[in-house]
């Protein structure tokens, strides 16, 4: 499976401009011949405008589905459409959509762990379900940014069969070492590929880190971005997952009767 991460620099609070920019970047990324293209977190608004947030949001992901779902079908590519600030039934969610090669929305996920240090919980509503889906026969899971600090979430996805973890984020430069360590840890401990698509640039006074990365189940970095807007691409040999899970079988050696989580 060939993966391309679009490390996008978005305009704060400017949904129209961000939609057009995202579509241009997707068209450019498809020239690399990927099976899957992935965008970062809340790329429609940035993370996150507090004034008039509901007005800036998508509505039940309608625009994402119309514009990016249609584009996925046109380009015949699987698309992890990052996440968007999204209003549904009067509440704001941080919602990710996944489209297959014919443009069908095969998964939708609301961020479950909201980043309280920046007040995300005061503006957004947390999700209530995990996100696992299949793309081209590969079982995948999806989490959003702060979710990666909660290892139980990724382990639950792995135990349910996920072999590939997609992480969409807007992670700041100030804590980039945490992001790098956590992505590698989730890949190694769950014996799965981990693909993190982060944002870059400035939002207010916050500088976002870039540093998007694709890591294999051994913890080896297959592709790594710098701090600027760019696309990184790597091919993931899914046979590696089966090999490592047979040679170091942590799933058989677990002692869940002792774990109090």
Catalytic residues: 41, 111, 145
How many C-alpha atoms does 78 have within 13 Å on its Cβ side? 21
Using the Cα atoms of residue 118, residue 124, residue 125 and residue 126 in order, give the sign of their dihedral: negative
Give the single-character DSSP code of 66.
I
| Whole-angstrom distance, CA of residue 45 vs CA of residue 26 | 18
| Whole-angstrom distance, CA of residue 86 vs CA of residue 125 | 10
| Burial of 256 per CB tally in 10 Å (0-12, 13-18, 19+) | exposed
Residues constituting the chain: 261
Please, are residues 114 and 121 in contact by the beta-carbon 8 Å criterion?
yes
> 224 Cβ partners below 8 Å, 6+ apart?
211, 212, 213, 214, 232
Quick one: how far is CA 59 from the chain centroid?
20
| Burial of 178 per CB tally in 10 Å (0-12, 13-18, 19+) | middle
| Whole-angstrom distance, CA of residue 82 vs CA of residue 203 | 17
């Amino acid at each position: 499976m060939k993966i391309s991460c679009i490390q996008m620099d978005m305009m704060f609070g400017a949904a129209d401009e961000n939609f057009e920019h995202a579509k241009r970047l997707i068209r450019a990324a498809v020239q690399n011949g990927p099976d899957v293209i992935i965008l970062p977190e809340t790329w429609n608004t940035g993370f996150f405008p507090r004034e008039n947030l509901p007005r800036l949001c998508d509505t039940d992901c309608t625009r994402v589905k119309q514009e990016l779902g249609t584009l996925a079908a046109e380009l015949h590519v699987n698309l992890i459409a990052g996440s968007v600030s999204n209003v549904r039934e009067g509440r704001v969610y941080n919602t990710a959509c996944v489209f297959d090669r014919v443009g069908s929305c095969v998964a939708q996920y609301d961020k479950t762990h909201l980043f309280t240090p920046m007040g995300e919980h005061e503006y957004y509503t947390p999700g209530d379900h995990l996100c696992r889906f299949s793309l081209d026969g590969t079982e995948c899971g999806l989490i959003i940014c702060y979710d990666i600090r909660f290892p139980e979430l990724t382990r639950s996805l792995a135990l349910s069969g996920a072999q590939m973890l997609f992480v969409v984020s807007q992670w700041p430069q100030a804590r980039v070492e945490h992001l790098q360590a956590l992505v590698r840890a989730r890949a190694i401990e769950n014996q799965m590929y981990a693909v993190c698509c982060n944002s870059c640039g400035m939002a207010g006074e916050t500088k976002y880190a870039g540093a998007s990365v694709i890591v294999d189940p051994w913890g080896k970095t297959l592709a790594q971005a710098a701090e600027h807007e760019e696309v990184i691409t790597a091919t993931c040999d899914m046979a590696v997952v089966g090999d490592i899970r047979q040679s170091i079988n942590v799933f058989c050696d677990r002692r869940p009767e002792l774990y109090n989580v």
